Amino acid sequence: MNICFLMYPWEEIIPEKDSTLTLIHECAKRGHGVAICTPSNLTIRNSVTNAFCSILNRLERVPSSIKSFYKKPHFEKKCFPWLVLMLFSCVEIHL
């Protein structure tokens, strides 16, 4: 399953208190694809909605600690037209 989180920037996460990070961590542990997008990264160009997303690279071994997980991920940035975003199984909004 691929899940996109529409949320605040990754750098603003407080690992000890953040429920969104807990959801992302669980998704990664279960092998789901995870993308993150902020509201400021949603655009419309030539009448086409686009989202600039950070795609979490799948980890061979996901750290069990949320704090370690927060420090470890590597993201690949991609721009998706809205129709491609529809291929995600779920879009979670946490603002």
For residue 68, the enclosing domain spans: 2-94
pLDDT (tens digit per residue) in 38-59: 989 888 888 878 888 899 998 8
Which two structure tokens, joined as six digits, stand for 43? 């655009």
Number of structural domains the chain divides into: 1
What CATH code is carried by the domain that includes residue 54? 3.40.50.20
Residue matched to tokens 């990754």: 10
Which pLDDT value is given to residue 90? 62
- E-assigned strands of 15-71? 33-37, 42-45, 48-56
